[in-house]
């Protein structure tokens, strides 16, 4: 039987109750993605001027205001997901045109966080 845990495939054998435990070993590495397949990434999703949430979570802090000039890599907000804080950084330089989130707000994957002008 093949089991996938955190993206890693393991082959396991089930034995009868009371029998000794079977050895578990990682399977061969996964095949490279097919051409045109979208990679899974936790970077902020952006489409032109829109920076959106890379995963569902709760906004802890918004670090920019409308009118702020930001550079590539600047921290723009902090998102908490699965009890871990993720720093959301600017994917490009620009001026903050709008803010679509607030501290304490729960956001879904793809929710508008910041709009650049």
Domain with 109 in it: what CATH number?
2.40.50.100
Q: Give residue 17's pLDDT.
A: 67
Q: Structural domain tally of the chain?
A: 1
Q: Give residue 117's pLDDT.
A: 87
Q: Give residue 10's pLDDT.
A: 75
Q: What is the pTM of this model?
A: 0.60
- Domain contains 25: no
- Domain contains 7: no
- Domain contains 37: no
Closest CA to 68 of 47, 49, 94: 94
Give the DSSP H/E element, type plus range, for residue 10.
strand 8-11
Is 76 within 8 Å of 51 (Cβ atoms)? yes
Closest CA to 66 of 99, 28, 42, 20: 99
Domain that holds residue 100: 45-116
Closest CA to 90 of 116, 65, 66: 116
Q: Give residue 115's pLDDT.
A: 94
- Domain contains 9: no
Segments of the chain with pLDDT less than 50: 37-41
- Domain contains 107: yes
- Domain contains 23: no
- Domain contains 75: yes
């Amino acid at each position: 039987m093949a089991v996938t845990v955190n993206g890693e495939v393991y082959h396991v054998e089930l034995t009868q109750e009371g029998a000794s435990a079977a050895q578990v070993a990682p399977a061969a590495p996964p095949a490279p993605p097919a051409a045109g397949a979208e990679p899974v990434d936790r970077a902020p999703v952006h489409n032109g001027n829109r920076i959106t949430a890379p995963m569902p979570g709760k906004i802890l802090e918004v670090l920019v205001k409308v009118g702020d000039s930001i550079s590539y890599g600047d921290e723009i907000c902090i998102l908490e997901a699965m009890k871990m804080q993720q720093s959301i950084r600017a994917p490009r330089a620009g001026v903050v045109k709008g803010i679509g989130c607030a501290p304490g707000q729960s956001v879904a994957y793809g929710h508008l966080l910041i709009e650049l002008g």
